[in-house]
Chains A and B, each alone.
Chain A
Amino acid sequence: MPTTVIPPRQEEKLKPATDKAQPVIIIEHLYKRFGQNVVLKDFNLTVYKEENVVVLGKSGAGKSVLIKCVIGLLKPDKGKIMVLGEDVTILNDDDLDKVRSKVGFLFQANALYDSMTVRENLEFPLRRHWIDIKPQEVTEMVKEALNNVALLHTADMMPSELSGGMLKRIALARTLILKPEIILYDEPTTGLDPVTAREIDQLILQLQKKYHTSSIIISHDMNCVKNIADRVILLLEGQCYVDGTYDELAHSADQKIKQFFE
């Protein structure tokens, strides 16, 4: 460990004197390996209500693996992941689905179903999670979700007809349609031009304020980190190397931290 590193925050230090201090994700002693490659090694993290935590790290450091473990797409080898009070590492499929209905996931490559229209893409999670939902409600919610991202006119278009920025917005609308309490973003601005990337940043912030969500955001885009992050952690060698605000990390003298901000 470096000598100048800002130590990972203590829970007490993080807790503001409001009820927002309620933890929504608690990750304890998480281990994940693929063959001989140990990706996460005794990783710990707590995310509080309405907080945006950005995870920085080199490619292959295990950032995407981390959020895939949180949503239950990957099973960790060891450790505990409490999401909204439920340990997702031990839940059965049905209970995991209940937790997932409160957690949104924005995929790096958007992962829109290319055989469905934009409208069908948005309807799909609604009809799956809320089986008894009425058709009128589905229509209203799809309209609201598309309005949120200013793309109502694309409802009957296929994903292949949309630009990269539009696809990202639609993917964000699909993520938000279930009104999740937590959103996990996997590199939300990767592959976008700087202008569109800033628009996505602003959209994420607007929607977070509107729906009071908490987020873990994986990003390499330092402008995105600066705009969005309440807290930044650096994932290095499978562990949380540093945990602090953007300004704290940006002014660190530690070489391993500095290289991300140069």
Chain B
Amino acid sequence: MSFITDTTDFLEQTGNISRFTGRFFSRGLKPKFEIKELLAQCYLIGYKSFPLVGLTGFIMGLVLTMQLRPSLVSYGVQSELPVMVGIAIVREIGPVITALIFAGKIGSSIGAELGSMKVTEQIDAMDVSGTNPVKYLVATRVLAATLMLPMLTLLGDAISLFGAYIGVNINAFTSLRFFFIQIFQTLTYSDIIPAVIKTLFFGFAIGIIGCYKGFNSTKGTQGVGNSANSAVVLSSVLIFIIDLLTVQLTNLMGLN
């Protein structure tokens, strides 16, 4: 009985998210665009997330290098360390970890902000003020998340590679120039472009789920808390699903 209820709830929620996404495309992307609010959201969502993404990226690159070194040393291929770390960061770990951090920071913030606006009727007030909330609140946040995450990922990757360089230098000196030449001799556009494209989908998923959960927040502080929490959980799961699909797709397209 519980299985049937859970399945029904899952299908209902999937349908509601699809309908909400449909509203984003049909109403949110209609001119006249809310450029001022979009830029404000890009600042809040992108610029304000940079320190966190940068710090975690740096630590991730450093730790990854330190963890990989013993295994490579045992096979006698420690000279390949920069290449291995570079490919791992650019193709997979950089985009996914940045997206997960982004989901934690931005997904919860959008879910809580819109949830709070919903329960205090601010979204209804906006509606009666002649402002379409889907256009003003949803479209701006979803577009900002979609545009900012690829940029944050590229910056995060760069900082992460620098962290990896520090990690390599803990045990043996390598020049920065030599380190990056080694990485970029191996990396190709087919490593970078699919990774960046998938972050567009990650950003879109984080934005739309945060907005959906906020718009469907139930009354009370607990409802707002639940919205923020479930926005992070659901968008994190979606990041892995999208990642799986894009890897399969790039394999099919022969880009791996």
Residues of B within 8 A of A247 (CB): none
Query: Bound state CA distance, A108 and B128, in angstroms?
Result: 14
CB neighbours of B12 from chain A (8 A): none
Partner of A113, one of B27, B125, B127: B125
Contacts of B78 in A (CB 8 A): none
Interface mask (B7-42 → A, CB under 8 Å = 1, otherwise 0): 000000000000000000001000000000000000
User: Is the Cβ of A109 less than 8 Å from the Cβ of B128?
Assistant: no
Measured between beta carbons, the chain A residues less than 8 angstroms from B129 are 100, 124-125, 128-129
Q: What CA separation (Å) do A112 and B121 show in the bound complex? A: 9
> Out of B27, B116, B128, B131, which one reaches A105, CB within 8 Å?
B128
Do the beta carbons of B124 and A73 come within 8 Å of each other? yes
B124 and A107 contacting across the interface, CB-CB below 8 Å: yes
Give complex CA distance A170, B229 in Å.
Answer: 33
Contact A108 B130 (CB under 8 A): no
A114 to B125, CA, bound (A): 12
Contact A97 B130 (CB under 8 A): yes
Main secondary structure of the interface of B (DSSP, over half): helix
- 1/0 per residue, CB under 8 A from A, across B106-140: the answer is 00000000001100111011111111100000000
Q: Mark B85-122, 1 if CB is under 8 A from A, else 0.
A: 00000000000000000000000000000001100111
Q: Give complex CA distance A93, B120 in Å.
A: 23
Contact A71 B128, beta carbon cutoff 8 Å: yes
In the complex, residue of chain A having the shortest beta-carbon distance to the beta carbon of B134: A93
Q: Which interface class (under 10, 10 to 19, 20 to 34, 35 or more) fits A?
A: 20 to 34
0/1 interface trace, chain A 70-111, chain B, CB 8 Å (1 if under): 010100000000000000000001000100110101011101
Contact count band on B: 10 to 19
The answer on a CB contact under 8 Å between A111 and B27 is: no
CA of A105 to CA of B124, assembled, Å: 10
Nearest residue (CB) in A for B136 is A128
Q: Mark A50-88, 1 if CB is under 8 A from B, else 0.
A: 000000000000000000100101000000000000000
What is the CA–CA distance of A113 and B120 in the complex, to the nearest angstrom?
9
How far is it, in angstroms, between the C-alpha of A97 and the C-alpha of B132 when the chains are bound? 9
With A100-B130, A125-B130, A128-B130: A93-B27 Cβ-Cβ less than 8 Å: yes
Partner of B120, one of A71, A103, A109: A109
Which A residues touch B121, using CB under 8 A?
107-109, 111
Q: In the assembled complex, how far is the CB of residue A104 from the closest CB belonging to chain B, in whole angstroms? A: 8
Name the B residues within 8 Å of A97 (CB-CB): 130
CB distance from A131 to the nearest CB of B (A): 9
A214 to B132 CA separation, bound complex (whole angstroms): 26
> Which residues of A have CB within 8 Å of B130?
97, 100-101, 125, 128-129
Q: Is the CB of B132 within 8 A of A111?
A: no
Find out whether the CB atom of A107 lies under 8 angstroms from the CB atom of B125. Answer: yes
Who on chain A is nearest to B32 by CB? A131
Q: How far is the CA of A232 from the CA of B12 in the complex (A)?
A: 42
Query: Is the beta-carbon distance between B125 and A105 smaller than 8 angstroms?
Result: yes
From B124, B127, B129, B132, name the one whose CB has the most chain A CB atoms within 10 angstroms: B129
Residue in B117, B120, B128 with the greatest tally of chain A CB atoms within 10 Å: B128
Q: In the complex, what's the smallest C-beta–C-beta distance from B103 to chain A, in angstroms?
A: 22
What residues on A are CB-neighbors of B120 within 8 Å? Answer: 109, 111, 114
A100 to B130, CA, bound (A): 7
- The smallest beta-carbon distance between B80 and chain A, in angstroms, is 51
Additional A-B contact list (5), CB under 8 Å, known A105-B124, A107-B125, A109-B121: A68-B124, A93-B27, A101-B130, A128-B131, A129-B130
Interchain Cβ contacts under 8 Å between A and B, 20 examples: A68-B124, A73-B127, A103-B128, A105-B124, A105-B125, A107-B121, A107-B125, A109-B120, A109-B121, A111-B120, A111-B121, A113-B117, A113-B125, A113-B126, A114-B116, A114-B120, A124-B129, A124-B131, A128-B131, A129-B129
Top 8 nearest A-B pairs (CB, nearest first) are A111-B125, A125-B129, A111-B121, A128-B130, A129-B130, A97-B130, A107-B121, A105-B128
